Amino acid sequence: MRRIFFKLFCFIFTAVTLSACATITIRAERLVPARHPLADVQSIAIIDFPSFEESEDEIAEKLREHVISEIQQNGFLSVADGHLPPTPTGKRAPTWRDQWKNYGASVHASVVLGGEIDRAGVQTTADGKQGAIVLTTHVLDVATGKILGNDRLIKVATFKYSESDVPDDDDIMNELIKEMSQSIVETVSPRLIGGSVEFLKNPESETGLQLALSGEWASAVASWKEALRHHPESHVLHYNLGAAYEFLELNDLAKFHFHEALQLKKDKRYERAYGRLSQSNEASKQLEKSIQQEDLDEPMDEETDEKPVTDQD
């Protein structure tokens, strides 16, 4: 009888131990900013995309309307609508950066997006038609007046008489405007990315896991941090915090918690996680060092304050 009870106890202990360290994989999504400096942007002002050619004014206005519509449908940024006021003239006329900055502040926007069309139109050739839009965009931080991004975007569509029915010029341009507006929005809007995140399950991590399953990452992290205050020796909590921080691309915090988990328990899973982050950090340092060296090797150009086209003469 004692032997039966002993075996039963061993079975229960093994089952509890396994369940306490069971893994759970969560399919998760998170928002990634288009650029790191745009991570905290919530509202954006869209100004005109003017051109030197009066014939392209209608294209510029349609493009602006499509960009606003795309951002609104995207739903990640609020649009502060309105047109940039006419450029003042005279010796004390503000620079284009000051003008954009003041306008963005007046409509309570975090950033201002605008640019200029370099080329837009449809050309008829011997064997078909070719439509093209070429433009340069600028994203300005309203708080600092700094440029957060410049992009030169090109959209081309070619139709040959021998291959298909060639649409008229307006249809070609409307399609290009739609495609270009999507490309412009991609340069400023965050995007959702998905991935699988492996966590460990024990009684202390249960609440955080439920929150993570619901996509409430901030609450899940807060729950595990609170649990860690009561269970400071829990390698499971440290590992889960590391996994969450790694998914959120907070690699320094992730590396710290993977290291703490490894200190508390020698485990191959913890070793792999810590080693992965250590290699990633070293690669980032090497990349940053090479970029800095390239900057030192290149001659510095004096900053110009050439004003983009914002008004017609």
Q: What is the pLDDT of residues 288-298, one digit of tens each?
A: 555 455 444 54
pLDDT value of position 90: 63
pLDDT value of position 294: 44
The candidate with the shortest Cα–Cα distance to 264, out of 197, 196, 198, 200, is 200
Gyration radius of the chain's alpha carbons:
28
* Residue 64, pLDDT above cutoff 60: yes
In angstroms, rounded to a whole number, what is the distance separating the alpha carbons of residues 209 and 203?
10
Mean pLDDT lowest for which of 30-44, 117-131, 221-235? 30-44
Mean pLDDT lowest for which of 26-40, 82-96, 200-214, 291-305? 291-305
**CA 92 to mean position of chain CA atoms:** 38
- Tell me the sheet residues that pair with 158: 130
End-to-end CA distance of the chain: 101
* 280's tokens: 């990633």
Signed CA dihedral, 277, 282, 285, 291: sign only: negative
Q: Give 301's pLDDT tier (boundaries 50, 70, 90).
A: very low
Task: Decide: residue 17, CB within 10 A, 0-12 exposed, 13-18 middle, 19+ buried.
Answer: exposed
Chain length of the chain: 313
pLDDT value of position 206: 94
In percent, the amount of the chain with pLDDT more than 70 equals: 78
Kindly list the distances between the CA atom of residue 106 and the CA atoms of 120, 148, 256, in Å, as whole numbers in the listed order.
Answer: 31, 19, 43
* Residue 12, pLDDT above cutoff 90: no
Q: Is 237 or 75 the better-scoring residue by pLDDT? A: 237
Assign 117 to helix, strand or coil.
strand
The pLDDT mean for the chain works out to 80
pLDDT tens, residue by residue, 264-285 = 999 999 999 999 888 765 555 5
- Provide the CB-side half-sphere exposure for 172 (13 A, CA): 22
pLDDT value of position 48: 82
The candidate with the shortest Cα–Cα distance to 104, out of 147, 62, 154, is 147
pLDDT value of position 282: 57
In order of start, what are the domains of the chain with their CATH numbers? 36-191 (3.40.50.10610), 199-295 (1.25.40.10)
Assign 245 to helix, strand or coil.
helix
Strands 43-46 and 22-32 come out as unpaired
* Residue 14, pLDDT above cutoff 80: no
pLDDT value of position 231: 96
For residue 86, give the amino acid letter: P
Q: Is 262 or 16 the better-scoring residue by pLDDT? A: 262
pLDDT value of position 68: 92
